[in-house]
Structure 1
Amino acid sequence: MIYNFTVSPDFGPEKLPGWYIFNTWLQKALGETVHLEVYPDFKSQREAIKAGKVDLIYANPYDASMLVREKGFISLAKPKSKSDEAIIAVNAARGVCSVEELRPGITVAATDDPDVRTMGMILLEPADLHPGNITLELCDSYVLVAKRLFNGEAEVGIFLAEAFDELSSVVKSRLRVLVQSEIQVVHHSLMLGPALAFQRDRLRNALLEMSSSTKGCEILRGLGFDQWEPVDQEAVEFMIDLMDTLLV
């Protein structure tokens, strides 16, 4: 039987080879055939999840609710000491130095990443900005968010902090960070679907042992972190409740 694995579309293209290498490791760890399917955007990935075409996923926090409560997925592990945070940035040439200087009517560029976008809108509240008095410009990637700022097509950009850090030094030099969230409990995690539930303990143990070998450490570095750590189900439920509250 072939099982399907996918990853959240919000990672940078430079991480794609790392995920293919991880998928090769995954097949050896499970002794199963696993196909890595990369979707171009959140919409197509969610359609695949709803259609039952995903058995294993490195999921963003927004989709955790659907995966756990509607599709019966189990959260196995997450990158150690890493959380999802949002950054508000502007074109450095504009002279804006604080969120409070922003005014209603501006255009805000963001990706179709609901958790990051929601955290970003919370960061804009000190300027009394909300969806009703801004224009939201959705982009396919964080590089395109930056491009909107450079071209004067948006006054503000909302970035996943990790994605912002991965932008080139030239791009970042042209941007000014106004504020970054510090929620700390929102994170991506590797989640296992019902069809692979029988492999739960085997895979969790293999993930937690990856960092104990040289090869495992190399694979993890290709994904952008150093180690997996287990995810407590209670913590997952708390994160889901938090995201549900923020998205209301």
Structure 2
Amino acid sequence: MIRFSVDPNYAGKNLPGWFMVASYLQKSIGQRVKFIPYKDFDEARNAVLSGEIDIVYANPFDWVFFMNEIGFLPIARPRNHFDEVIVCSKKYKSYLELTKPINIISAHKKTFVHMVGLFLLEKAEIDLDSCKFNFSGSYQSVIKNVLQSEYDIGFVLSEVYEKSSVIIKNQLNILDVSNDGFVFHAFCISPRLIELQKSITESILNFNSKLLDDIGFEGFETISEDEIFTISSLANEYIGSLNREAS
């Protein structure tokens, strides 16, 4: 049996669509595929690292980590779809209104969203030493905490914000938005599935329009070596900084 999961951000939405992805893969590659969703980043990561998952649609930080640590192979990425970051607030409309200490809510320290959020603050000349960070486990809960005015600002995956209701959007002020256009989620496979790499990849690249609509993408394409190198370099640099910070 092949066990399949997705980034927790996606497990909380379009859930029926991801079950359909598992069914599609099962029919396409001729092996039983079971979809297993997880609620938070740590639970999902631990499942992959402990060998409980064979195929995962992972966020950029995770697929680099899985590739480095346990030999997972990134095989496909969403077409014309990149991970961007929004810095939002309910209480403030501009960085200039912030007062120290700045209380910030983020989903998880080990995500590209948090890393890019820090870059945006530094670009805006915000002193990170004046910031206090808390982590909620999901981007939806980041928005919830910001709306309750428990924190000054929050880091949110732009896709999550865009798919929020008009009522929620109208209550949030956007202080900053990244526009890098190069970081992305990716389908990755375990080393034990290397012999099935071609058939799994072809199956993903040939998702039909109904299936793509169900999970909210226009299509998938292969990942270039240059893309893997660029994102890996950035992720490894950030991981190194976290390790130095912890030591």
The answer, yes or no, to whether TM exceeds 0.5 is yes
Task: Identify if the C-alpha distance between structure 1 residues 244 and 101 changes in structure 2 by more than 3 Å, giving closer, same or farther.
Answer: farther
Greater shift after overlay, 28-37 or 113-122? Answer: 113-122
Q: How far is 1:43 from its partner?
A: 0.9
Task: Identify if the C-alpha distance between structure 1 residues 11 and 120 changes in structure 2 by more than 3 Å, giving closer, same or farther.
Answer: same
Residue 22 of structure 2 corresponds to which residue in structure 1?
23
- Work out which of the residue numbers 228, 234, 239 in structure 1 matches 2:226: 234
TM-score (normalised: structure 2): 0.90
Aligned amino acid, residue 221 of structure 2: E
Residue 134 of structure 1 corresponds to which residue in structure 2?
131
**Mapped contact 1:11–1:163 kept (Cα < 8 A):** no
**Mapped contact 1:99–1:127 kept (Cα < 8 A):** no
**Mapped contact 2:76–2:220 kept (Cα < 8 A):** yes
Q: How far is 1:57 from its partner?
A: 0.5
Task: Identify if the C-alpha distance between structure 1 residues 12 and 120 changes in structure 2 by more than 3 Å, giving closer, same or farther.
Answer: farther
Count of equivalent residues: 238
Structure 1: gaps of 5 or more residues: 211-215
- Deviations along 1:101-146, one digit per CA (max 9) or x if unpaired, are 323302111112521011111111224231x322212113323222
Find the aligned partners of 1:237 and 1:19 in 2 and give their Cα distance.
28
Task: Identify if the C-alpha distance between structure 1 residues 246 and 98 changes in structure 2 by more than 3 Å, giving closer, same or farther.
Answer: farther
Find the aligned partners of 1:141 and 1:63 in 2 and give their Cα distance.
15
Q: Quick check: 1:145 aligned with 2:142?
A: yes
Aligned amino acid, residue 62 of structure 1: F
Find the aligned partners of 2:11 and 2:21 in 1 and give their Cα distance.
16
**Mapped contact 1:9–1:41 kept (Cα < 8 A):** yes
Q: Quick check: 1:220 aligned with 2:212?
A: yes
Q: Quick check: 1:74 aligned with 2:70?
A: no
Task: Identify if the C-alpha distance between structure 1 residues 200 and 12 changes in structure 2 by more than 3 Å, giving closer, same or farther.
Answer: closer
What does residue range 86-101 of structure 1 map to in structure 2 within 5 Å? 86-91=85-90, 94=91, 96-101=92-97
What does residue range 1-248 of structure 1 map to in structure 2 within 5 Å? 2-11=1-10, 13-91=12-90, 94=91, 96-112=92-108, 114-125=111-122, 126-130=124-128, 132-210=129-207, 216-247=208-239, 248=241
Find the aligned partners of 1:12 and 1:3 in 2 and give their Cα distance.
18
**Mapped contact 1:100–1:127 kept (Cα < 8 A):** no
2:74 alignment partner, SS class: strand
